[in-house]
Structure 1
Amino acid sequence: MSKSLRKAGGLVIYRKVFNEIQYLLLQASYENHHWTPPKGHLEENESDMDAAVRETEEEAGLKLQDLCVDHHFKKTLKYEPANKNFIKQVVYFLAYLTNPETPVKLSNEHQSYKWLSLQNAKEHAQYPEMQELLDECDKHLKL
């Protein structure tokens, strides 16, 4: 039996504080309490970008007007969640939080959030695909 594909969109959000780039990671309220950028499943007829923006507002309280989306960065992660009968495909975009003081307001889907340097973000993000994504974002920002 072939596994179904579940599509999602997300934003890797960063801010600059004293010239240091910090990435926003949210800690899930469920299962293994993993850390990821805001992301979520596409709703009917929704684009990857629309889902990414909607989920960021729902999960972190950050609206599109708070962000500057970098349309030159797009990365697709595909993986098989453990003990699930589907393949997940998440398209991530990169977005800058224009005012670093903008508060994050978590939904009940997450229990915590942190703004982290690249190295700390990679330590929190336990999956190699997420660590690689963060490296690629950082490399893109330093071009």
Structure 2
Amino acid sequence: MISEEIEFSNKNLFEIIEEFEKIIKAKYIVYAEVNEVLQNFINIAYDTRNPGKMSSEIFEITDFKLDLDKFEKLNLSEKNLIVELKNGNKIIGFFIIGERDEFEFSEAEKKTINSIGTLLAGFIKQKQYFQNEKNKEK
């Protein structure tokens, strides 16, 4: 049974996001997840500025593009790096990464961050798969 498999929980994912934030020395990371049913909506699943708390903010997007002007409620800083989290060609979410005030991410750092984002997208997709399988068992 799938429930006997490794547990891919939100807690595991949020701990990884928090560690990622520390490693890249970002101000914060906001994890926005594309709604699986309503593809033109995202929900803010996690914000490292509020550790341990899941968020329930929902925002509408157009053509899988984030317009940060619509995200006033999130109180984002002026400099942000947006990382698309993809599974193949399908966007499953975004990281909104607050850049440091004293300097911007270099191009090499941005490439590394995008590569790590790709790896984390795989983890997220696997977590979603196991959650769906677990829900089928009920």
Alignment TM-score, normalising by the size of structure 2: 0.30
Greater relative contact order structure (CA < 8 Å, 6+ sep): 1
Question: Greater share of helix residues, 1 or 2?
Answer: 2
Question: Greater share of strand residues, 1 or 2?
Answer: 1
Larger Rg computed on CA atoms:
2
